[in-house]
């Protein structure tokens, strides 16, 4: 009868003296002493059709490769098998051909999949139940060894990877008090010198101390609150500002069968941040200067327009003089429109959105009606097409009207006389697609590449000498992105162009049949 308590004591004694590969070898030696087999194999399944001998008490058999299907046939639906008069198949003769009795245990775990197999040249003196019990106990030790090997390999990999990464890296293990950091993180968090495996408590203290030194603690704490409330939280550009440097913090959870925790990466972006700030300041100065110049130009242009309006009152003018005044007024009007566009574009960055529920159909009808006179002058028909029930769009109505104004205005400007402009809305995968389609000359691929840039003049020209600031589509793109939407363009030369604004599903819901009167700017 087997002394199972004695076996466990021997296993524990081994754990106090052996580590690494020697640990599995010592466990197997004890197994041989207790059960009396001549051989013990630990066979690891690599994939469906391949298994290798991870350990063998007979070194001459350790290089053998076997087909896992052969052992699956032995275990069947059970995890344990015991054959007293064993006749091996040809593929197993190299391993087990010398043995009359063979027993084995199937191990199926996320850390290890395979078999423990032992063989006797004669009938064993122990019962089936005793052999199965010993193999189960040995199987637990195989799993411990496998985890140990994996831990050693993982530690070596992390040490290598963390050593070559210039950023400060922290790998925090939430399941165990086992963490990895590199030298950069050690210096940043002011932890104990040389300890690249700090405890969770010391890591938490170091990171809290670092956070408390930051100048933008309110912004950091706001993001930290999201992280605490959401275990799956991911942030890529979490800025921590200090008096002497700026850090961009990336953090992401890691969930796998082998590890549960979170990785932190602290990237020093001080130089990049300062250059970006300098560039932003310079751009702001330029924008302010443009706004001042535009505003100062508006007054003299308005004065000239007043003078032109006053001239017919002085006396009778001939046709040529009236034509010149009319031309001058049109030029002034274009100039004032350009100034308004410049001032409007510069104000986009500081414009505050007022998000509210909008009756989409009513807004579109209102905007389209405002272009009736302009469309009539060019004999262009405006067609509104809907393929859905009434919708409610959660958006900023002022910005949405401005987007539609620019797109419909462009469609009318570039459409020849007597054509059609289509305003089409549809729901696809719960997303709202709002399209403005014209039958104009189309936009060339070269022009499409610069379509949304400021002050771009395209090869296509308005068909009735209308003015264009070169800012309309830039304004559309900026406003679209601020609203959380996107803009697409499709164009065919000599056929026409479609601009499509796409709103994500979270901004859209079905409305009701009764129209609610709203006022739009």
For residue 217, pLDDT over 60 is answered with: yes
| Same domain for 500 and 424 | yes
| Same domain for 339 and 291 | yes
pLDDT band of 136, cuts 50, 70, 90: very high
| Same domain for 147 and 126 | yes
> Whole domain around residue 297: which residue ranges?
273-349
For residue 514, pLDDT over 70 is answered with: no
Tens digit of each residue's pLDDT (9 = 90 or more) over 102-116: 999 999 887 788 999
- pLDDT of 1 reads 67
* In contact, 404 and 367? CB cutoff 8 Å: yes
| Same domain for 313 and 244 | no
| Same domain for 278 and 130 | no
| Same domain for 291 and 244 | no
| Same domain for 384 and 443 | yes
Residue 409 in tokens: 């205005």
Number of domain units in the chain: 4
| Same domain for 501 and 359 | yes
- pLDDT of 295 reads 67
CA distances to 17, 29, 31 from 34, rounded to whole Å, are 20, 9, 5
**What average pLDDT does range 412-419 have in this prediction?**
90
Which H or E run includes 313?
helix 270-314
* In contact, 210 and 245? CB cutoff 8 Å: no
For residue 399, pLDDT over 80 is answered with: yes
**Is there a domain that residue 38 lies in?**
yes
Tell how strand 420-428 and strand 381-386 pair up.
parallel
- pLDDT of 80 reads 94
- pLDDT of 513 reads 46
Sign of CA dihedral 124, 127, 128, 131: negative
- d(C-alpha 248, C-alpha 168), whole Å: 11
**Domain-ending residue, one of 152, 173, 189:** 152
| Same domain for 360 and 239 | no
As a whole number, the mean pLDDT across the chain is: 84
For residue 517, pLDDT over 70 is answered with: no
Q: Which of 67-71, 192-196, 360-364, 469-473 has the lowest mean pLDDT?
A: 469-473
CA distances to 381, 485, 508, 515 from 505, rounded to whole Å, are 31, 10, 5, 22
Beta bridge partner(s), residue 249: 238, 266
CA distances to 388, 389, 391, 448 from 514, rounded to whole Å, are 15, 11, 11, 41
pLDDT band of 456, cuts 50, 70, 90: low
| Same domain for 178 and 141 | no
For residue 485, pLDDT over 90 is answered with: yes
Strands in 356-359's sheet, in edge-to-edge order, are: 356-359, 391-395, 508-510
CB proximity list for 433: less than 8 A, separation 6 or greater: 425, 426, 427, 500, 501, 502
CATH of the domain at 230: 3.30.450.20
- pLDDT of 166 reads 82
Residue 479 in tokens: 């406003």
Tens digit of each residue's pLDDT (9 = 90 or more) over 162-188: 667 788 999 888 877 778 888 899 999
Tens digit of each residue's pLDDT (9 = 90 or more) over 264-290: 999 999 998 888 888 878 877 777 777
- d(C-alpha 158, C-alpha 162), whole Å: 6
Q: Which of 84-93, 223-232, 510-519 has the lowest mean pLDDT?
A: 510-519
């Amino acid at each position: 009868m087997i002394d199972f308590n004695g076996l466990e004591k021997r296993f524990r004694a081994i754990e106090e003296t052996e580590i690494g590969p020697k640990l599995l070898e010592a466990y197997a030696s004890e197994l041989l002493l207790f059960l009396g087999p001549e051989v013990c194999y630990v066979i690891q399944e690599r994939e469906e059709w391949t298994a290798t001998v991870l350990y063998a008490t007979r070194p001459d058999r350790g290089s053998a490769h076997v087909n896992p299907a052969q052992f699956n046939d032995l275990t069947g639906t059970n995890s344990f098998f015991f054959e007293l008069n064993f006749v091996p198949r040809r593929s197993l003769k190299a391993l087990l051909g010398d043995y009359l009795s063979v027993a084995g245990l199937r191990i199926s775990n996320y850390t290890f999949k395979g078999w423990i197999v032992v063989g006797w040249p004669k009938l064993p003196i122990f019962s089936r139940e005793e052999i199965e019990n010993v193999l189960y106990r040995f199987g637990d030790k195989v799993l411990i060894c496998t985890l140990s090997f994996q831990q050693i390999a993982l530690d070596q990999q992390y040490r290598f990877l963390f050593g070559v990464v210039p950023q400060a890296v922290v790998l925090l293990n939430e399941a165990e008090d086992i963490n990895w950091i590199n030298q950069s993180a050690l210096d940043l968090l002011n932890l104990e010198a040389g300890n690249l495996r700090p405890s969770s408590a010391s890591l938490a203290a170091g990171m809290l101390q670092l956070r408390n030194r930051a100048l933008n603690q309110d912004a950091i704490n706001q993001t930290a609150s999201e992280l605490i409330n959401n275990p799956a939280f991911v942030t890529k550009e979490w800025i921590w500002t200090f008096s002497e440097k700026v850090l961009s913090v990336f953090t992401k959870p890691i969930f796998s069968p082998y590890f549960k925790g979170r990785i932190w990466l602290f990237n020093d972006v001080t130089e990049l941040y300062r250059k970006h700030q300098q560039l932003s300041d310079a751009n702001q100065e330029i924008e302010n200067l443009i706004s001042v110049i535009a505003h100062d130009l508006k007054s003299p242009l308005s004065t000239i327009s007043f003078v032109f309006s006053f001239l017919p009152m002085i006396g009778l003018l001939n046709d040529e003089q009236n034509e010149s005044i009319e031309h001058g007024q049109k030029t002034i009007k274009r100039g004032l429109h350009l100034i308004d566009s410049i001032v409007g574009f510069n104000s986009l960055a500081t414009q505050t959105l007022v998000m509210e529920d909008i009756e989409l159909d009513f807004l579109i009808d209102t905007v389209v009606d405002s272009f009736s006179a302009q469309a009539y002058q060019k004999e262009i028909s405006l067609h509104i097409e809907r393929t859905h029930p009434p919708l409610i769009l959660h958006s900023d109505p002022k910005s949405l009207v401005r987007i539609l104004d620019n797109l419909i205005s462009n469609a009318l400007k570039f459409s020849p006389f007597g054509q059609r402009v289509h305003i089409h809305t549809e729901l696809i995968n719960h997303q709202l697609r709002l399209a403005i389609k014209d039958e104009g000359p189309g936009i060339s691929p070269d022009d499409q590449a610069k379509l949304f840039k400021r002050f771009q003049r395209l090869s296509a020209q308005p068909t009735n000498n209308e003015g264009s600031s070169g800012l309309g589509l830039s304004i559309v793109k900026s406003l679209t992105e601020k609203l959380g939407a996107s803009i697409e363009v499709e164009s065919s030369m000599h056929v026409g162009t479609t601009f499509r604004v796409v709103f994500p599903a979270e901004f859209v819901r079905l409305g009701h049949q009764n129209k609610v009167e709203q006022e739009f700017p």
